[in-house]
Amino acid sequence: MNSQYLITLSFVLLTLVLPLSSATNSFESYDTKKFPALYVFGDSLIDCGNNNHLPSGGADYLPYGIDFMGGNKPTGRATNGKTVADFLAMHLGLPFVRPYLDLTNHQRNKISTGINYASGGSGILPDTNNVTSLTLDKQIKFFHSTVKHNLHKVFKEKEEIEMHLSESLFFVSTGVNDYFHNGTFRGNKNLALFLLNEFTLRIQRIYNLGARKFLVNNIPPAGCFPSKAIRARPRGKCDEKINKAISFYNRRLPEVLHELQSKLPGFSFVHADLFGFLKGVRETGKSYGIVETWKPCCPNTIYGDLKCHPNTVPCPNRDTHLFWDEHPTQIVNQIYAWLCFNEGTICKSWGLKLIYHA
Ligand SMILES: *[C@@H]1O[C@H](CO)[C@@H](O)[C@H](O)[C@H]1NC(C)=O
Ligand SMILES: *[C@@H]1O[C@H](CO)[C@@H](O)[C@H](O)[C@H]1NC(C)=O
């Protein structure tokens, strides 16, 4: 795995210094119109502003967004710049996907390129942070409303809506927050099996509303998150007890997706190994220019705070850090996107053509 990462490395570094416009242009030779829309479900890795509308608040203040689109644009993204969902939209030739709660009903009646329902803190289960975030059930309820009420205004015929949904990409990244209760880790095999079953039921509900093409992240190595690494011995190491419990879920996730594929006509998917990717960056970080692989860039989050405090001064060079706060930096999201969508090293396709080899 690591040698593959290293081979791609020099190319990643070369492309990172190119202006973004030319990176987008390089995808034009592919049939990017294949996916008319991108719909996004999940947690803070890909929330782009939904939580700003909740009483608990989102990441809508500086230094969040300090590197977003020219700089100093906090949006609710829990990182210094773009998320993986942003890089995916760029890869598909689509505009950045807007957060559902940002949109008026009038705007929802006009959007045909996808909506982001993701919410920081949410998990698979209805009782995971259900006061402070939009649960996956709530996200699916909003998507249901999009299908039933808004897409009818965009498309005239029922068949057009069905076609639109069946060709669109559905990105789902969730599960890590279910492993924590009040910030305390609570993983065991029974929980993993329960989560996989509950996840399957919800993917099936999204399918029943018309979705066919899925990109699914596995669960990241939460034992390596800064709030856990600071307490590990020696400091900065991963808590492997946490990672082991999460691995139990992750090992079964591809099987569960295959079962769905054999059961549901037209179901296709790409499985992304977010866990393996983030562990890999820890090991081979230096070769990416990432020299700090456990201390987050936002200073107060080194000591276990989950979020940056407003207007704290972050590290001067974000591109040398793996973590921004509890979440990866933009550069890490960009490397993920490159390895998944262009190299195909961390992503595997099952009947879904999403990976365009350079
Ligand atoms: C929210 O979670 C609590 C437990 O944390 C649970 O008792 C309650 O039923 C949940 N509410 C909903 C609407 O699922
Ligand atoms: C969880 O946190 C809440 C509020 O912070 C507290 O009232 C409750 O006792 C905690 N529960 C557990 C099991 O630690």
What separation in angstroms does the CA of 40 have from each of 215, 285, 289? 10, 28, 30
Residue 26 clears pLDDT 60, i.e. is over it: no
* 115 — pLDDT class (breaks 50, 70, 90): very high
Give me the mean pLDDT over the 277-290 stretch. 95
Range in 7-16, 82-91, 277-286, 329-338 with the lowest mean pLDDT: 7-16
pTM of the model: 0.90
Per-residue model confidence as pLDDT tens digits over 134-144? 999 999 999 99
pLDDT of residue 273: 98
CB burial of residue 274 (10 Å; 0-12, 13-18, 19+): buried
* 299 — pLDDT class (breaks 50, 70, 90): confident
Give me the mean pLDDT over the 118-126 stretch. 98
Q: Which of 56, 122, 127 to mutate to test the pocket of ligand 1 (most atoms within 8 A of CB)?
A: 127
Question: Quick check: CB of 112 below 6 Å from ligand 1?
Answer: no
Question: Quick check: CB of 181 below 6 Å from ligand 1?
Answer: no
Distance 335 CA to ligand 1 centre (A): 37
DSSP per-residue letters across 163-201: HHHHHSEEEEE--GGGGEETTEE---HHHHHHHHHHHHH
SS3 97: coil
Per-residue model confidence as pLDDT tens digits over 47-79? 999 999 999 899 999 999 999 999 999 999 999
Percent of the chain with pLDDT strictly greater than 90: 83
Q: Annotated catalytic residue: which of 29, 227, 325, 349?
A: 325
Name the more confident of 300 and 242. Answer: 242
* 356 — pLDDT class (breaks 50, 70, 90): confident
Ligand 1 atom showing the smallest separation from residue 135 Cα = 14
Residue 9 clears pLDDT 90, i.e. is over it: no
Ligand 1 atom showing the smallest separation from residue 126 Cα = 14
pLDDT of residue 25: 34
Q: Which ligand is nearest to the CA of 125?
A: 1
325 among known catalytic residues: yes
The domain locations on the chain are: 32-274
pLDDT of residue 183: 83
CATH number of 32-274: 3.40.50.1110
pLDDT of residue 322: 97
Distance 103 CA to ligand 1 centre (A): 27
Ligand 1 atom showing the smallest separation from residue 130 Cα = 1
pLDDT of residue 62: 97
Question: Quick check: CB of 126 below 6 Å from ligand 1?
Answer: yes
44 among known catalytic residues: yes
Other CB atoms within a 10 A radius of the CB of residue 120 amount to 31
Residue 280 clears pLDDT 90, i.e. is over it: yes
pLDDT of residue 357: 61
Two tokens at 205?
Answer: 């509900």
Q: Which ligand is nearest to the CA of 183?
A: 2
Q: Which ligand is nearest to the CA of 138?
A: 1
Render the burial of 182-209: b for 16+ CB within 10 Å, e for the rest.
eeeeebeeebbeebbebbbebbebbbeb
Nearest-CA residue for ligand 1 atom 4 is 127
Question: Quick check: CB of 127 below 6 Å from ligand 1?
Answer: yes
Amino acid at 106: H
Name the more confident of 200 and 233. Answer: 200
User: Considering the chain, what is the average pLDDT of its residues?
Assistant: 90
149 among known catalytic residues: no
